Amino acid sequence: MKTLRHYLDETACEEPLKDLIELIAYQSIPIRDAFIDNQTYADTENVYGEEQAALDKWADQHIISVLGESGFVKAIASEEQADIVRFPDAYGDYSVVMDPLDGSSLIQVNLAVGTIIGIYRGGDPLQKGEDLAVAMYMLYGPMTVLALTVGDGVFTFAMNSEGIFVLLKEDIQMPEGKLFGSGGLRNEWLPGHQDFISLCEQSGGKLRYSGSFVADFHQILTYGGVYCYPAVVGKPEGKLRLVFEGNPIGFIAKQAGGAISDGTQDLLTILPEKPDHRTPIYVGSRKIIESAESCMKQ
């Protein structure tokens, strides 16, 4: 049985980074425990004007307080915070970007949701996705699964009955599959995106879209295909966020041989302008992302 720690000890990561990864991964235990008491909406809105689920707020506060006390991180950019949270006295020199609870609308219906995390070296969380040191997510489904890359392939771990992450799959390669799912209302899609979805349908693609980016991406990582949240009429920037969602998931996709694009360029090459930088997202198997880009160009 190979544990997360055994795996980390085989990587080139420095000790404090290994400790930080483990610390974050095991917050899945208290977060999962908090589901039962945080099933409703919180009557507040986040910086994007979106209703916050009670669990969004709980997970956000919890991770910020654990990381603040740990001394590992100089800064945290969270989807639930308007501003970057800074810890100038931290002895560690990392910054964390996070969506503490992705897929909020599915909490009340007990479908899979997750926590998305990126770690950069240095105190600036507004870096390009390609400069991430670590990208990971914890997926709260029938099992608690951790997907992790430290820039040397993608590995998944499942939590066993003793609360230990054990290796599930190593060096995952995303196949050229045919699943597809798109956010946004069909009657608001722009022509290039409509053409792309028609192409997916005509080539025998199967529709898969749950309302949780992290869960839908995990399916794409396993079977191949594409998840997209496009630009729509009146919202050329789409819905998802570059810093907290696009970059960590895109880094994992690329490490698994897949690709991520905003429809015109590799998402990981974009320098974020601000924490709440939004972007259209196409992520999945490499060839499908190439077809998405060529549809967008026409």
Angle (nearest 5°) at CA 195 between 246 and 189: 60
Residue closer to ligand FDP, measured from CB, 18 or 239: 239
Residue 43, marked binder: no
Residue keyed to tokens 């917050």: 27
- Report the nearest approach of ligand FDP to the CB of residue 288 (Å): 17
Residue closer to ligand FDP, measured from CB, 60 or 102: 102
Number of other CB atoms surrounding residue 147 within 10 Å? 27
How far apart, in whole angstroms, are the C-alpha atoms of residue 72 and residue 95? 8
199-218 positions binding ligand FDP, by CB under 6 A = 211-213
- Report the nearest approach of ligand FDP to the CB of residue 136 (Å): 16
Residue 101, marked binder: yes
Q: What's the token pair of residue 23? A: 């610390």
- 104 contributes a contact to ligand FDP by CB under 6 A: yes
**62 residue type, one letter:** H
Rg value, the chain, Cα: 18
Helices (H) and strands (E) in the chain, counts: 8, 15
- 262 contributes a contact to ligand FDP by CB under 6 A: no
Residue 57, marked binder: no
Provide the phi-psi class of 175: left if phi over 0, else alpha when psi is between -120 and 50, else beta: beta
Residue closer to ligand FDP, measured from CB, 153 or 211: 211
- 102 contributes a contact to ligand FDP by CB under 6 A: yes
**209 residue type, one letter:** Y
Strands 73-78 and 94-102 come out as parallel
Residue closer to ligand FDP, measured from CB, 45 or 290: 45
How far apart, in whole angstroms, are the C-alpha atoms of residue 109 and residue 97? 27
- 240 contributes a contact to ligand FDP by CB under 6 A: yes
- 112 contributes a contact to ligand FDP by CB under 6 A: no
- 52 contributes a contact to ligand FDP by CB under 6 A: no
Interacting span for ligand FDP (CB under 6 A) from 14-22, 39-47, 59-67, 101-109: 101-109
DSSP-assigned letter for residue 36: T
DSSP-assigned letter for residue 64: H
Residue with the closest Cβ to ligand FDP? 213
- 285 contributes a contact to ligand FDP by CB under 6 A: no
How far apart, in whole angstroms, are the C-alpha atoms of residue 130 and residue 93? 18
- Report the nearest approach of ligand FDP to the CB of residue 72 (Å): 26
**200 residue type, one letter:** C
- Report the nearest approach of ligand FDP to the CB of residue 168 (Å): 22
Residues in contact with ligand FDP by the rule CB under 6 A: 50, 102-105, 183, 211-213, 239-240, 245
Would you list which residues are annotated within the binding site for substrate? 102-105, 209, 239
Would you list which residues are annotated within the binding site? 79, 99, 101-105, 209, 239, 245
